[in-house]
Structure 1
Amino acid sequence: MAGEAGPRRAAVLGSPVGHSRSPALHRAAYAALGLTGWRYDPIECDEAALPGLVDRLGPEWVGLSVTMPGKRAALARAEQRTERAVAVGAANTLVRLPDGRWRADCTDIDGVTGALTERGWSGTRSGAALVLGAGATADAAVAGLAELGVGQLTLMVRNPARAAGTAAVAKRFGLAAEVVGWDPRLPGVDVVDVVVSTVPAGVADECAPAAARAEFVLDVVYHPWPTPMATAVAAAGGRLATGLDMLLHQAFGQVEQFTGRPAPRAAMAAALPDRVPA
């Protein structure tokens, strides 16, 4: 169905969803591909409401982008699931199959690998990474880091008991993971290959001076921007991948799965005029 001509619909589901930049990316892609009549809208939808909403969608729907807090519910709702989505335990992408069923995928992994690669990642040095936070975004980050060759992971969290799920994801992807308590000094920052901050805006501000010593940093926040961490890393000359980089690279795979065509990457990048080019 995704490759057929004629009016089609897609959307991003989340709560809150008004800040999402996904509509700009997908609309730019559909216009560049000549898919007239295609719509992509933001829909306010929490985890509890997601299954029922998906059940009510008509045959004109080709796919859904899913942001917080519905990523685990999206995985559970789908009749088919990619191996990587199952391993991560969450899905940011639901694709309508020709028989009407839904397939879950996690293109957030591509967001992580694409963002770091675009900013100059060329391989591991120590093979270690420091991830701030635990949850669905951290889980995808762990999977992406494994794909990039990282083998050792430190998870720094405020509540270590809540990191069990992300530690389990790391194990499924073959990473040795250590969970440590929150420390703004970021112990080990001088030797890890990359620091990935997956915490909400404001939480990691106190870590900015330490993060400035890192060789690579991925800060998944993109509003408000720049974060203190991003400012410190840029001022120190470190390599900085941003939340907008991650958003762009995860959207490429969604567009390709929804439309059945190669993503028009330049047109989509142009839809994020505030993203600093690599």
Structure 2
Amino acid sequence: MSHPLQFAVFGHPIAHSVSPQIHQAFAQQFGIALDYRAIDAAPDAFVDAIGHFFHEEQGRGANVTMPHKAAAFALADERTPAAARAGTANVLTRLPNGRLSAHNTDGAAMVRDLTDRHGLDLRGHDALLLGAGGAACAVAWSLIDAGVQTLTIVNRSPESADALADAIGEPARARTRYWEDLAGIGSFDLIVNATSAGTLGHALNLPFSLAASRATCYDLGYGKSAFGFLAWARVAGARYAYDGLGMLVEQAADAFELWHGRRPDTEPVYQSLCVQMA
């Protein structure tokens, strides 16, 4: 009897992850047997944990979440253009020759969730991106690709925001501002929270003036980690406030297709998780 294919999600912390549930649901759509588990690896143990998984356990693929996305990119042997552009990876795949390939599907997954699932046309939007870490880098490029008019990047460490804007290289569209100036930079019709504040249990204390009257607010986190930002968005008068659960399902589908060559139907899995988390 053949053993199930080995897959995993690496993070720290990771106990809250619903990625194993999502991938099992996708596998059931095609009658695929797989072993997909969550592996908690502290930053100083991540490289060894990845090596053990792919080489000793013959793992086929891994999802990677905070705080390991930059490390996953660095250790890969090959990198897709999207990963190279972002400088981070959320998916690692073991190729037939044993080499590791890094992918980044975060930005494309978020845009697909906003446009296909929630019906938002991003063209012409003035967008504010809070954060400049691993997920933010992927999201920034995809928002530019999707046609936002301007992208203002604000991060508590301004150097990271400046580096991201410089990499995009379109100063008329992608710019940075200081976190302490948030109260005076005007309003935006798309606000994306890509900080780790919610996951770490910290409050952002954002000024309500940031949200335009018909604003869409989007948190890359989901569940409890998104509660604070979404509550702020509603009080600020945003028209829509979404968490990143749909993005999580979409990037999982991208990884699943990379690994199995088949595209799962994401909507029933997304709806099931919404009911579960309500």
* TM norm structure 2: 0.85
Compared CA separation, residues 240 and 43, structure 1 to 2 (3 A): same
Compared CA separation, residues 186 and 194, structure 1 to 2 (3 A): farther
Compared CA separation, residues 228 and 73, structure 1 to 2 (3 A): closer
Deviation at 1:176, TM superposition (A): 2.7
Tell me if structure 2 keeps the 8 A contact 1:93–1:254: yes
* One of 68, 74, 77 as aligned partner of 2:66: 68
Compared CA separation, residues 255 and 207, structure 1 to 2 (3 A): farther
What amino acid is aligned across from residue 50 of structure 2 in structure 1? V
Deviation at 1:259, TM superposition (A): 1.4
**Aligned position for 2:258:** 257
**Aligned position for 2:150:** 152
Q: What CA distance in whole angstroms lies between the structure 2 residues aligned with 1:101 and 1:263? A: 26
Q: What CA distance in whole angstroms lies between the structure 1 residues aligned with 2:151 and 2:123? A: 13
Tell me if structure 2 keeps the 8 A contact 1:62–1:258: yes
Q: What CA distance in whole angstroms lies between the structure 2 residues aligned with 1:184 and 1:275? A: 35
> Which runs of 5 or more residues in structure 1 are unaligned?
none
Indicate yes or no: 2:120 matched with 1:124. no
> Which runs of 5 or more residues in structure 2 are unaligned?
none
* One of 155, 165, 168 as aligned partner of 1:167: 165
Q: CA RMSD in A?
A: 2.8
Q: Which segments of structure 1 move beyond 6 Å, counting only runs of 4 or more?
A: none
Q: What CA distance in whole angstroms lies between the structure 2 residues aligned with 1:272 and 1:32? A: 16
Which structure: greater helix fraction? 2
* TM norm structure 1: 0.85
Q: Deviations over 1:57-86 (max 9, x none)?
A: 246421000001111111111111001100
Compared CA separation, residues 211 and 193, structure 1 to 2 (3 A): closer
Q: What CA distance in whole angstroms lies between the structure 2 residues aligned with 1:267 and 1:158? A: 38
Identity %: 29
Deviation at 1:12, TM superposition (A): 0.4
- Tell me the secondary structure at the aligned position of residue 268 of structure 1: helix
> How do 1:187-198 residues align onto structure 2 when only pairs under 5 Å count?
187-189=185-187, 192-198=188-194
Indicate yes or no: 2:40 matched with 1:44. yes
Q: What CA distance in whole angstroms lies between the structure 2 residues aligned with 1:181 and 1:229? A: 16
**Aligned position for 1:18:** 15
**Aligned position for 2:91:** 93
Tell me if structure 2 keeps the 8 A contact 1:205–1:228: no
Q: What CA distance in whole angstroms lies between the structure 2 residues aligned with 1:172 and 1:90? A: 21
**Aligned position for 1:54:** 50
**Aligned position for 1:112:** 110
Structure scoring higher RCO (CA < 8 A, sep ≥ 6) equals 1
Tell me if structure 1 keeps the 8 A contact 2:186–2:209: no
Tell me if structure 1 keeps the 8 A contact 2:6–2:35: yes
**Aligned position for 1:220:** 220
Tell me if structure 2 keeps the 8 A contact 1:222–1:244: yes
Compared CA separation, residues 229 and 53, structure 1 to 2 (3 A): closer
